[in-house]
Structure 1
Amino acid sequence: MLAYHRDRMLEAAQHFDFDAVAAKLEDGKALHEELLKEVKTYIENGGKDEALKLRILFDKQGSMTVEFMPLPPVPLSTLYPPSLTPPTPHPTTPSSTPDFKPSPLTGGALTLGPTDSLPSTSQPQSQSTTPTPPSPPEWVLRLDTAPTPSTPFTLLKTTYRAFYDQSRARALPTNPLGNAYTEVLLYNEVSELTEGSTTSLYFFRGGRWVTPPVGVPAGEFTSSTLKTDGAGDDGEGAGNSNADEGELRKPFAGRWGHSLRSAKVGAGGQRGTSRRWALKKGFCMEEPVGVDTVGVGEGVWVSNGVRGFGFGRVVE
């Protein structure tokens, strides 16, 4: 996944003419080693060896700053799910008649009461393994109340997030568990869904999961920048004409994976790392999603590179 983050930074650096940054990011292995050193230094200086979010920042001269933010741990299956199948919904109201639970303490003659207990069959405390972090709660999602313009700042990864902040300020839903699991569904000027304010989006359409396509910055590229011969500038992928159909390989060399940026200028949305992973796994397809097709109560998957994948429902 780190390679995907590096690709996003490289694309932004080249678009905004951060030449020193682009040169530094060309060597992905060196970046990986430098980040490992930063993490080791952080721990040696008193930081905890725990789940961390690393925020990597570059100035135009190519100087890198790494910020560390502790995060609640999540299961590995949340970061890398086996599929995008919706989880079984939890009942919203308890049944008026509780299910009968035969008590093994009485041969099944009585029900198991609140003070009953069973002998533990688990390992002794000294032999127990590290507990698996709980699965994240269901997300609460709301459709934005105004379109978000498609600009390089909503297509590429930067620190300028004014458009996203404005969207969250006007449309963020409430969640008793806090804003960590709330999201706004953004759309562009032609009423097509693009992304969430912090996540990529996946809608169930036609019997499969689809994610809105992402476009290219206006005036930046032409059809000549798109290659469909299956070979990148470095020759990788030659011999398979459908390996990366429609993917954008320029203005820099390197393999991007599956079709992740359409030739449509200004479609909007960022090339999320978890989105790219899901496409490559075949969990979803790219397909435009109109605002008028999204309904209250609809189940939607969301994802980002920090929290992984989560399932949510659209509210009014």
Structure 2
Amino acid sequence: MSSHPFQIVSTLRYDPALPNVVTQRGAKSSPDPLNTPYYLLPYHQDRLRNAARYFHWDSALKFLEQDFTQFVRYLDTFIPDKGRPWRVRLVVDDTGDCKVEADPAARIELENFVVPFIISPVSTPWRVYVDTAPTTPSGLTTHKTTARGDYAAARTRLGIASPQDSADVLLVNPNGEIMEGSITTPYFRRREQTEQNEPEWVTPPLSSGGNAGTSRRYALAQDFCREQVITAADLIDGEICLLSNGVRGFILGRVVLNRKA
């Protein structure tokens, strides 16, 4: 656990067009987490609550347990223009103080935010690297916080200089299991034969040490994927994968093991 002060964090997309798009694609989970312009907001609120409980931040938990409608009203006061998309970052400290940062977000095809995700034939895949050093799982990897040293180090090792780079690095625990991406949740095609109606995609279980991501929770709730331990040794150079997070939705990726190729 970090010896320095840190906050719990969740980052998501605000987009006024989201509710119109998602009503065309039925949700299997109830209540529907996509019924506001804030992408998967109920899951973000839950994630922050779970982190506050884990760290025993009672004041933060009291703030986060407010009614969902009340929470939306609070966030609305930080959106400068409700007619355009925003990247919204919620930062909560142990006293229950919540800072909300809203920055302009690039326009993205909103179909990328719902599953089943359809891979566009013109998509340019993100480069997906595997970290060259292990990361030890802890509360700071299970819960998203401002203590991002392990993630920053992994990105530096693989030469990813900017959050705008179309690349991510997969963190690996000391047992060689994929935990998560530095800014995304990864999904891989199942290796074994799938039965009819079974998901063809798998994502690492939380027991491997990665973050309880909101888009990950959504993909599992929609039966888009199931959990399965994936090791770095299981990955194949050049294989297609998917990535997701609360700001960009679902993204096509390609595993890069041979960086000289």
Q: CA deviation at 1:50?
A: 2.0
> Which of 32, 36, 48 lines up with 1:9 in the alignment?
48
Structure 2 equivalent of residue 20 of structure 1: 59
Greater radius of gyration (CA)? 1
Could you list the per-position Cα deviations for residues 210-237 of structure 1 after superposition, in whole angstroms to 9, with x for gaps in the alignment?
000003xxxxxxxxxxxxxxxxxxxxxx
Structure 2 equivalent of residue 50 of structure 1: 84
* 2:206 counterpart SS class: coil
Higher strand fraction (1 or 2): 2
Cα distance in 2 for partners of 1:308, 1:314 equals: 19
> Which of 59, 62, 69 lines up with 1:29 in the alignment?
69
Structure 2 equivalent of residue 188 of structure 1: 173
Cα distance in 1 for partners of 2:161, 2:54 equals: 36
1:70 partnered with 2:110 = no
TM-score (normalised: structure 2): 0.75
> Which of 237, 246, 250 lines up with 1:305 in the alignment?
246
Cα distance in 1 for partners of 2:100, 2:220 equals: 29
1:283 partnered with 2:235 = no
Could you list the per-position Cα deviations for residues 254-286 of structure 1 after superposition, in whole angstroms to 9, with x for gaps in the alignment?
xxxxxxxxxxxxx20011111111111111000
* 1:180 counterpart SS class: coil
Contact in 2 for aligned 1:140/1:173 (Cα 8 Å): no
> Which of 123, 144, 151 lines up with 1:157 in the alignment?
144
Cα distance in 1 for partners of 2:45, 2:216 equals: 15
Q: CA deviation at 1:84?
A: 3.9
Q: One-letter code of the match for 1:183?
A: D
Could you list the per-position Cα deviations for residues 97-133 of structure 1 after superposition, in whole angstroms to 9, with x for gaps in the alignment?
xxxxxxxxxxxxxxxxxxxxxxxxxxxxxxxxxxxxx
The percent identity for this pair of structures is 36
* 1:38 counterpart SS class: coil
Gap change, CA 1:14 and 1:174, over 3 Å in 2: closer
Higher relative contact order, structure no. (Cα contacts within 8 Å, ≥ 6 residues apart):
2
Q: CA deviation at 1:150?
A: 0.2
Cα distance in 2 for partners of 1:159, 1:26 equals: 21
Q: One-letter code of the match for 1:191?
A: G
After superposition, residues 74-113 of structure 1 pair within 5 angstroms as 74-81=108-115, 83-84=116-117, 86-88=119-121
Q: CA deviation at 1:292?
A: 0.6
Cα distance in 1 for partners of 2:159, 2:241 equals: 16
Name the count of aligned residue pairs. 210
> Which of 160, 176, 184 lines up with 1:199 in the alignment?
184
Q: CA deviation at 1:85?
A: 5.1
Structure 2 equivalent of residue 292 of structure 1: 233
Q: Which runs of 5+ in 1 are unaligned?
A: 91-135, 216-266
Gap change, CA 1:286 and 1:172, over 3 Å in 2: farther
Could you list the per-position Cα deviations for residues 28-65 of structure 1 after superposition, in whole angstroms to 9, with x for gaps in the alignment?
332112111222xx34xxxx842101111122221221
Could you list the per-position Cα deviations for residues 185-210 of structure 1 after superposition, in whole angstroms to 9, with x for gaps in the alignment?
11111011111000001000124110
TM-score (normalised: structure 1): 0.63
> Which of 130, 134, 137 lines up with 1:143 in the alignment?
130
Cα distance in 2 for partners of 1:147, 1:137 equals: 29
Gap change, CA 1:75 and 1:85, over 3 Å in 2: closer
Cα distance in 1 for partners of 2:160, 2:215 equals: 23
Q: One-letter code of the match for 2:99?
A: T
Structural RMSD (CA)? 2.0
